[in-house]
Amino acid sequence: MEDAFNIATQMAAERTNNITQVIKAYSRRLLGFIRQRVSGNEDAEDILQDVFYQFAGSTEPIEQAGSWLFTVARNKITDKYRKHKLPLADDVFGTSETDDESFDWKEMFLAADANPETDYLRNLFWEELQLALDELPAEQRDVFVQNEIDGIAFKDIAAQTGVSLATLISRKRYAVLHLRERLQVLKNELLNY
């Protein structure tokens, strides 16, 4: 009986040590990753804390901790944007590592200080997005709106509609590609005005 207790204590200590090592190894890179995708340092630190909390509380074995942490961080960032009821700017406008543009879409959409210019740009974006959505086939438009704007998970949409998960993901992908292409004109106009 005492041997079982010692083994359990040793395993708990080992787990705590592993968690500490992973946090030390990934916290700086993960925070940088999150900061690039959210509008403020406080939000980034909150998300980082949530990611590590989920990591420490996970009961399933995690074989590739780095990959798992970055995936969870991306999901937490997505959840944050869904709360704001905005489609992800990265999805709609796309991101490129070679862009030399200093125009930050997310910062404009999530800016706390509303002024006439940001209000005008937000309204312009929403009008163009609605026009672009109206051009899509109904199936693509519906899955994009349900998943990105309403925040409904693909599995829930699949359960409601009876359409396979792969088909829903494909439809959303085509919608995103169309929206990127269609909204590129707006992006170019705003960057060159």
pLDDT digits (tens, 9 = 90+) for 147-176: 887 778 888 999 999 999 889 999 999 998
The Cα 47–Cα 38 span in angstroms is 9
pLDDT at 102: 45
CB atoms within 10 A of CB 181: 11
Nearest one of 102, 46, 47, 57 to 78, comparing CA atoms: 47
Is the pTM here over 0.85, yes or no?
Answer: no
pLDDT (tens digit per residue) in 82-128: 665 444 445 555 544 444 444 455 555 555 556 676 677 777 777 88
Share of the chain above pLDDT 90, in %: 10
- 152 contacts 146 by C-beta, under 8 angstroms: yes
pLDDT at 100: 42
Q: What is the arithmetic mean of pLDDT over 42-52?
A: 87
Domains within the chain, CATH numbers bracketed: 2-83 (1.10.1740), 96-191 (1.10.10.10)
- 13 contacts 35 by C-beta, under 8 angstroms: no
Alpha-carbon distance values, 174 to 57, 150, 170 (Å): 36, 18, 6
Q: Is pLDDT at 49 greater than 80 in this prediction?
A: yes
The Cα 106–Cα 16 span in angstroms is 37
